[in-house]
A and B are shown apart, each in its own frame.
Chain A
Amino acid sequence: MKVSKLWLDKFFDAPLPDAQTLADALTFHAFEIDSIEQVEGSRTSLTSLTDWVLDVKVTPNRGHDCLSHRGIAKELSAILKIPLVNDPLSSRSDLLPKTTEVTVDIQRTVLCKRYIAGYIKGVTVGPSPQWLKRRLEAVGQRSINNVVDATNFVMFNLGQPLHAFDAHKLWEGLTFPSVGKVRPSQTIGVRLAKDGEVMEALDKKKYALKDSMLVITAGDKAVGIAGVKGGMPAAIDESTKDIVIESANFDGVSVRKTAQSLKLRTDASTRFEQVLSPELAAYGTQSVVELIQKLAGGELAGYADAYPEPQKPMYANVTVEKVNKVLGTTLTGAEVSDAFTRLGLPYKEESGVFEVQVPFERLDIAIPEDLIEEVARIVGYDKIPATPLPTFSGEVEVNKNFYAAEKAREELGSRGYSEVFTSVFADKGERMVLNKADSVRPYLRDSLLPGLTEALAKNKPNKDLLGLTEVKLFELGTVWKGGKERVMLGTVSEKQKASEKAPEPVDAAAYETLPLSSAVRFEPFSKYPYIVRDIAMWTSPTNNEQQVQQTIQKEAGPLAVKISLFDRFEKEGKVSLAYRVIFQSFEKTLTEAEANEAMDKVSAALKAQGYEIR
């Protein structure tokens, strides 16, 4: 979630510290920060309008309250110990006056816990003021008009998605039977879509809906996909006079499935997916109605609130003793209460037990461990000591399969076999996966042999480069055969065809100490082919063989990546030396001519030193 620093400042008496300080505070006490970006403000202005935008990675347990500037401001207030002076959620929202001109009819209260319709008459739709455009642009939003911008602003401010309908378009052409003296009422409905029902959304695309998706209706005509996107039929435009503001609570799972299925993830759907408190809807609507009246005028006719089952108060308990037992700390009751106070978690303390009344938006807090986490991150994880586990004196049970595998690795290693891992995915097998991202080799292998055979073929051409006389490979890997999952041990070499067997588990009292890899740093290798050249010569037994090799290296140059003595014999008082030189470049495929040229230089130099090239 993108968060603007200038926007956050509005929650406090004085500007917050610099963006980097805020990023660090959040990183070590709340959320990771994906990026910090500087946003330049308008050049014509005399005051500095430079803003900083933090991309905050809000964790899934905090989507309830922290996909909003208010949520992040509240975190910063707790972490930095700066009072949150302007908290829009601190006062009660009473939703007055009520209106009877609009009614709300929720058919599926399981999927829509609350729906508030706010009815404003006589607005003037027009461009937004500069400050609002800047706020929205800072967080990557485009300004549309004052009414729509107000709904977006409040969503990014409080986390409550909102939508504005053109009231005239909603009920255009519908007739309302008048019952007695009661004024005809205009109804907003919430129902499941009909299979194949089509609605044109505000993105001007037509969406074919399914009967698992929730829609907003007026006179049974779909005017919005609940929690995802509003519809064209009741879109706000310059001629709009009367509006209905939707502030609702839709089921997270339902919204997620709908958005996924329509491939239409929106800022609204991302928030509903995370599950919001139905209480938040009231704050959202009051806040947006106030803002719209400020920006676009109009008169509030009132609210219609369908909220059949209000959210119950939430409580969670924890003791200081439990906090310390779980964290391994020695925090005092005062430190625990300080953390709760800073977080704005009201509590009662009685004989070491903290009973916290959980704010309605903190749906993540239910069990003692949730409160312990709150204490830990506010106190700071750097305050948690590093304590060793109690000294272990018993015997650790030896894993028979691992022991057997380690034995096999040792035995094969001593015989010159190197260990490979090949993919468990194969072209054939008894079982397969449903949905492989790269859609090749969807089967689970039933044997190690094809993979090993392929690996052998792949490695053979590199034998000289590797300095091997024979490529020998083994793999300890899982296969799925005969309805069973089991680990097999497979081997292959140039002389022995691939074969596999199930390693027998071995009972042992203790593991043996086996050698570890000695590599310090990995050396990248070239992906280009290499060229092999051999050179043999007669030398006298008194000659320094090391010097010969140095001469070859010097003359062959840096493209000679490997030089090895592969044959040496003595005959009639003379010594024959045969060297293999491997040429390879990191940049290109070498030509025969390049290798020959280098070898010519080698030959010339060796001849000049008095050796007889064979």
Chain B
Amino acid sequence: MAEEIKRGHLHPISSLIREANAIFMQMGFTFAEGPLVEDEVHNFDMLNVPKDHPARDMQDTFFMKGEPGAVLRTHTSPVQVRYMEAQIKKGVKPPYSVIVPGKVFRNEATDMTHEAEFFQIEGLAVGEDVSLAQLKGTLEHFFKALFKDASVEIRFRPSFFPFTEPSVEVDMRLVGEGAPEKLRGRWIEMMGAGMVHPSVLQNAGVDPKQYQGFAFGMGLDRLALLRSGIDDVRHMHSADLRFINQF
């Protein structure tokens, strides 16, 4: 029997990033990146996370040995600041809109729902009148495009993040026949978001009197888990084809 080459499989996270990029690109979002070993200035200070914030405690953050001030980034948010800084340096003023998919790190024990390394997607839109209502519209559009067969509802709940004000938690609910049975009709917590804190804009060199914007950060592993009914987040980094070749 002639041996034909079977097509290899794309990792589900890569597939999700590909899909998210295509959806956001149509809304004008550029794909941006930043370093994984980040300085505390970008990971915390410029994001308005005070020096004594518990998030800086040893148990959450990986600090680099012999490199004072260097950490493994705990979120994709430092790229917000890096992107805006770079644009201002080039003399390019807002509007800006970027997405930042990438790996982030939390120094914690791993289990079925927690990994020390995982993926996030950050979104940032800054302009003269980018609003919280537009954040809702943008996320609604994204989830509708992602869960094509279901009807999607979005809701906000109050929350707190040092780098956004107001801050919200975003829940999503899938309804209708096309929704995966396990998710149908249930509100699911999807991400944290909000209006970029004026200090963050200021720190990046963007005038907060003239500009405002929204930002969001969502766990991609969790999104993939929910979407495909994956039972254990550790599959993502298992390099096990019994997992990957299902995608």
Contacts and interface: CB of A to CB of B under 8 A. Distances in A.
Interface of A: 27-32, 59-62, 252-253, 256, 260, 325-329, 367, 369-370, 372-373, 376-377, 381-382, 384-389, 392, 394, 396-399, 401-402, 406, 409, 412-425, 431-438, 442, 444, 451, 454-455, 458-459, 462, 465-469, 471-475, 478, 480, 485, 511, 513-525, 566-569
Shortest beta-carbon contacts, A-B, top 6: A328-B133, A328-B131, A392-B28, A373-B166, A59-B160, A381-B156
Q: Which of A29, A373, A472 has the most B CB atoms < 10 Å from its CB? A: A373
B91 interface: no
Contacts of A433: 62-65, 72, 107
A511 to B, nearest CB: 7
Given A369-B195, A413-B9, A522-B228, A478 B36 contact: yes
B30 A325 contact: no
Contacts of B247: 517-519
B85 interface: no
Given A413-B8, A415-B8, A458 B159 contact: no
B141 interface: yes
Contacts, number: 266
A376 B246 contact: no
B49 to A, nearest CB: 11
A511 B158 CA distance: 37
Contact of A381 (B25, B36, B157): B157
What's the interface size class on B, roughly? 35 or more
Contacts of B18: 406, 514, 516
A416 B138 contact: no
20 contacts: A27-B157, A325-B212, A327-B166, A376-B158, A415-B5, A419-B8, A419-B11, A421-B11, A421-B13, A423-B117, A424-B36, A435-B63, A435-B107, A459-B240, A459-B241, A469-B3, A511-B22, A519-B228, A521-B180, A566-B1
B140 interface: yes
B64 A385 contact: no
A29 B169 CA distance: 12
Given A387-B134, A416-B8, A421-B236, 12 more contacts: A328-B133, A369-B197, A373-B167, A386-B137, A399-B33, A414-B8, A416-B6, A431-B67, A436-B62, A459-B241, A466-B241, A474-B8
A369 B165 contact: yes
Interface string B234-247: 00110111111111
Nearest to B138: A389
A522 B230 contact: yes
Q: Which of B6, B54, B59, B72 has the most A CB atoms < 10 Å from its CB? A: B6
Contact of B242 (A30, A466, A485): A466
A332 B201 CA distance: 28
Contacts of A256: 52, 54
Contacts of A252: 52
Contacts of B180: 521
A480 B67 CA distance: 14
A372 B131 CA distance: 12
Q: Which of B19, B32, B167, B228 has the most A CB atoms < 10 Å from its CB? A: B228
B155 interface: yes
A519 B7 CA distance: 14
Nearest to A568: B1
Nearest to A524: B231
Contacts of B65: 431-434, 442
A516 B59 CA distance: 37
A413 B10 contact: yes
B14 interface: yes
A405 B200 CA distance: 31
A517 B15 contact: yes
Contacts of A401: 33
Given A27-B157, A252-B52, A413-B8, A370 B137 contact: no
A393 to B, nearest CB: 8
Contacts of B198: 367, 369
A516 B19 contact: yes
A436 B106 CA distance: 10
A366 to B, nearest CB: 10
Contact of A434 (B22, B64, B136): B64
B58 interface: yes
A362 to B, nearest CB: 14
B154 interface: yes
B35 interface: yes
Contacts of B236: 421
A424 B103 contact: yes
Q: Which of A372, A399, A485, A513 has the most B CB atoms < 10 Å from its CB? A: A399
Contacts of A253: 52
A394 B108 contact: no
Nearest to B72: A433
A473 B244 CA distance: 11
A402 B34 CA distance: 12
B124 interface: no
A385 B136 contact: yes
A454 B238 CA distance: 11
A372 B22 CA distance: 33
Contacts of B12: 517, 519
B27 to A, nearest CB: 6
A437 B109 CA distance: 6
Contacts of A455: 239
B166 A396 contact: no
Interface string B124-143: 01000111111011101100
Contacts of B197: 369
B220 to A, nearest CB: 12
Nearest to A368: B198
B11 A420 contact: yes
Contacts of A473: 239, 241
Contacts of B67: 431
A575 B105 CA distance: 57
Given A60-B160, A327-B132, A396-B30, A419 B9 contact: yes
